[in-house]
Amino acid sequence: MKIAILASGSGSLAQAIIDAQKSGLLDLEILALVSDRESQAIARATHEGIPTKYLPMSENRETWNTDLIKFLSGLNPNLVVSVGFMRVLSRDFVEKFPTINTHPALLPNFPGAHGVRDAISAGVRKTGATVHWVDSGIDTGKVIVQKEVDVLPEDDETSLHERIKIVERALIVETLRHFIANGIPGRI
Protein backbone atom coordinates (compact mmCIF):
# COMPACT_ATOMS: atom_id res chain seq x y z
CA MET A 1 0.00 0.00 0.00
CA LYS A 2 1.21 3.50 -0.88
CA ILE A 3 0.14 6.38 1.34
CA ALA A 4 0.53 10.14 1.51
CA ILE A 5 0.36 11.81 4.91
CA LEU A 6 -1.21 15.22 5.59
CA ALA A 7 -0.09 16.91 8.84
CA SER A 8 -0.08 20.47 10.18
CA GLY A 9 1.37 20.21 13.68
CA SER A 10 3.87 18.41 15.84
CA GLY A 11 3.81 15.27 13.73
CA SER A 12 3.54 12.77 16.58
CA LEU A 13 0.81 10.83 14.74
CA ALA A 14 2.85 10.88 11.53
CA GLN A 15 5.86 9.68 13.54
CA ALA A 16 3.84 6.73 14.83
CA ILE A 17 3.14 5.69 11.23
CA ILE A 18 6.78 6.22 10.24
CA ASP A 19 8.04 4.21 13.22
CA ALA A 20 5.60 1.36 12.53
CA GLN A 21 6.69 1.29 8.88
CA LYS A 22 10.39 1.33 9.79
CA SER A 23 9.95 -1.48 12.33
CA GLY A 24 8.16 -3.67 9.77
CA LEU A 25 4.81 -3.48 11.56
CA LEU A 26 3.33 -1.65 8.55
CA ASP A 27 4.20 -2.92 5.09
CA LEU A 28 3.59 0.31 3.25
CA GLU A 29 5.37 3.03 1.33
CA ILE A 30 5.12 6.60 2.57
CA LEU A 31 5.22 8.62 -0.64
CA ALA A 32 5.32 12.05 1.00
CA LEU A 33 4.20 14.16 3.90
CA VAL A 34 2.33 17.36 2.99
CA SER A 35 1.90 20.25 5.39
CA ASP A 36 0.17 23.59 5.08
CA ARG A 37 2.56 25.03 7.69
CA GLU A 38 6.26 25.00 8.35
CA SER A 39 5.69 22.37 11.01
CA GLN A 40 7.50 19.90 13.16
CA ALA A 41 5.76 17.23 11.07
CA ILE A 42 7.84 18.33 8.05
CA ALA A 43 11.01 18.29 10.16
CA ARG A 44 10.24 14.76 11.37
CA ALA A 45 9.59 13.47 7.84
CA THR A 46 12.72 15.17 6.49
CA HIS A 47 14.78 13.61 9.28
CA GLU A 48 13.40 10.18 8.30
CA GLY A 49 14.19 10.70 4.60
CA ILE A 50 10.55 10.99 3.57
CA PRO A 51 9.81 13.50 0.78
CA THR A 52 7.89 16.55 1.97
CA LYS A 53 5.77 19.24 0.40
CA TYR A 54 5.10 22.56 2.09
CA LEU A 55 1.88 23.90 0.62
CA PRO A 56 0.79 27.00 2.55
CA MET A 57 -2.82 28.07 2.32
CA SER A 58 -3.13 30.77 -0.31
CA GLU A 59 -5.63 33.61 -0.44
CA ASN A 60 -7.36 31.71 -3.23
CA ARG A 61 -8.68 28.51 -1.70
CA GLU A 62 -9.49 27.01 -5.12
CA THR A 63 -5.87 27.43 -6.23
CA TRP A 64 -4.68 25.72 -3.05
CA ASN A 65 -7.13 22.84 -3.57
CA THR A 66 -5.98 22.44 -7.18
CA ASP A 67 -2.30 22.51 -6.18
CA LEU A 68 -2.87 19.86 -3.48
CA ILE A 69 -4.79 17.59 -5.85
CA LYS A 70 -2.17 18.03 -8.57
CA PHE A 71 0.70 17.21 -6.22
CA LEU A 72 -0.96 14.08 -4.83
CA SER A 73 -2.13 12.98 -8.29
CA GLY A 74 1.53 12.85 -9.28
CA LEU A 75 2.20 10.46 -6.39
CA ASN A 76 -0.87 8.25 -6.99
CA PRO A 77 -1.38 7.08 -3.37
CA ASN A 78 -3.76 4.24 -2.53
CA LEU A 79 -4.75 6.15 0.59
CA VAL A 80 -4.31 9.63 2.06
CA VAL A 81 -3.85 9.71 5.84
CA SER A 82 -4.73 12.97 7.56
CA VAL A 83 -3.16 13.19 11.01
CA GLY A 84 -3.48 16.57 12.64
CA PHE A 85 -4.06 18.30 9.30
CA MET A 86 -6.12 21.34 10.21
CA ARG A 87 -7.74 22.04 6.84
CA VAL A 88 -11.10 20.99 5.48
CA LEU A 89 -10.51 19.09 2.25
CA SER A 90 -12.56 19.95 -0.83
CA ARG A 91 -15.25 17.70 -2.28
CA ASP A 92 -13.06 17.24 -5.39
CA PHE A 93 -10.21 16.05 -3.18
CA VAL A 94 -12.18 13.49 -1.18
CA GLU A 95 -13.90 12.18 -4.29
CA LYS A 96 -10.50 11.58 -5.92
CA PHE A 97 -8.50 10.20 -2.95
CA PRO A 98 -9.71 7.76 -0.30
CA THR A 99 -8.78 9.68 2.85
CA ILE A 100 -8.88 8.82 6.54
CA ASN A 101 -8.45 11.12 9.51
CA THR A 102 -7.86 10.87 13.24
CA HIS A 103 -9.91 12.99 15.61
CA PRO A 104 -9.46 13.48 19.37
CA ALA A 105 -13.07 12.78 20.38
CA LEU A 106 -15.73 10.12 19.97
CA LEU A 107 -17.45 11.33 16.84
CA PRO A 108 -20.11 12.43 16.14
CA ASN A 109 -19.57 14.20 19.47
CA PHE A 110 -17.26 17.22 19.50
CA PRO A 111 -16.29 17.60 15.84
CA GLY A 112 -14.01 20.39 14.69
CA ALA A 113 -10.73 21.88 15.81
CA HIS A 114 -11.46 21.92 19.55
CA GLY A 115 -12.77 18.43 20.31
CA VAL A 116 -10.77 18.03 23.51
CA ARG A 117 -11.66 21.46 24.88
CA ASP A 118 -15.31 20.94 23.94
CA ALA A 119 -15.41 17.57 25.75
CA ILE A 120 -14.01 19.12 28.93
CA SER A 121 -16.42 22.05 28.68
CA ALA A 122 -19.35 19.65 28.30
CA GLY A 123 -18.34 17.84 31.48
CA VAL A 124 -18.31 14.36 29.92
CA ARG A 125 -16.67 11.51 31.81
CA LYS A 126 -15.53 9.72 28.68
CA THR A 127 -14.21 10.96 25.38
CA GLY A 128 -11.70 9.27 23.14
CA ALA A 129 -10.22 8.98 19.69
CA THR A 130 -11.77 8.23 16.32
CA VAL A 131 -10.41 7.19 12.94
CA HIS A 132 -12.93 8.04 10.23
CA TRP A 133 -13.33 8.50 6.50
CA VAL A 134 -13.00 12.08 5.35
CA ASP A 135 -15.86 13.59 3.43
CA SER A 136 -16.39 17.25 2.51
CA GLY A 137 -17.87 18.05 5.94
CA ILE A 138 -16.09 18.72 9.22
CA ASP A 139 -15.51 15.35 10.89
CA THR A 140 -18.72 13.96 9.40
CA GLY A 141 -17.35 10.94 7.53
CA LYS A 142 -18.15 7.34 8.44
CA VAL A 143 -16.43 6.12 11.62
CA ILE A 144 -13.91 3.31 11.08
CA VAL A 145 -12.83 2.70 14.70
CA GLN A 146 -13.06 4.44 18.07
CA LYS A 147 -11.59 3.96 21.52
CA GLU A 148 -12.71 5.57 24.76
CA VAL A 149 -10.50 7.59 27.08
CA ASP A 150 -11.63 8.48 30.60
CA VAL A 151 -11.78 12.16 31.50
CA LEU A 152 -10.13 12.41 34.90
CA PRO A 153 -11.20 15.01 37.48
CA GLU A 154 -7.77 16.64 37.35
CA ASP A 155 -7.65 16.80 33.54
CA ASP A 156 -7.18 20.02 31.68
CA GLU A 157 -7.15 20.29 27.89
CA THR A 158 -3.41 19.58 27.63
CA SER A 159 -3.30 16.52 29.88
CA LEU A 160 -6.39 14.96 28.33
CA HIS A 161 -5.16 15.65 24.79
CA GLU A 162 -1.83 13.97 25.54
CA ARG A 163 -3.59 10.80 26.72
CA ILE A 164 -5.89 10.86 23.69
CA LYS A 165 -2.88 11.22 21.36
CA ILE A 166 -1.47 7.95 22.72
CA VAL A 167 -4.72 6.22 21.77
CA GLU A 168 -4.85 8.00 18.38
CA ARG A 169 -1.34 6.81 17.51
CA ALA A 170 -2.28 3.20 18.25
CA LEU A 171 -5.59 3.47 16.37
CA ILE A 172 -4.08 4.90 13.18
CA VAL A 173 -1.44 2.17 13.08
CA GLU A 174 -4.09 -0.49 13.83
CA THR A 175 -6.31 0.88 11.05
CA LEU A 176 -3.49 0.87 8.52
CA ARG A 177 -2.51 -2.69 9.51
CA HIS A 178 -6.11 -3.76 8.97
CA PHE A 179 -6.23 -2.08 5.54
CA ILE A 180 -2.93 -3.70 4.52
CA ALA A 181 -4.17 -7.15 5.57
CA ASN A 182 -7.72 -6.86 4.23
CA GLY A 183 -7.68 -4.16 1.56
CA ILE A 184 -8.98 -0.62 1.73
CA PRO A 185 -12.73 -0.86 2.29
CA GLY A 186 -15.31 1.38 0.68
CA ARG A 187 -16.22 4.59 2.43
CA ILE A 188 -19.98 4.03 2.60
Distances (CA, A) of 113 to 51, 88, 139: 27, 10, 9
- Residue of 103, 132, 161, 178 marked active site: 103
Q: Which helix (H) or strand (E) holds 86?
A: none
- Catalytic (active site) residue 103: yes
- Cβ burial 138-154 (10 Å sphere, 16+ → b, else e): ebebeebebeebebeee
* Phi, psi of 7, deg, nearest 5: -150, 140
Residue 40: count of CB within 10 angstroms of its CB = 17
C-alpha to C-alpha distance for 134 and 141, rounded to whole angstroms: 5
Residues designated as active site: 103
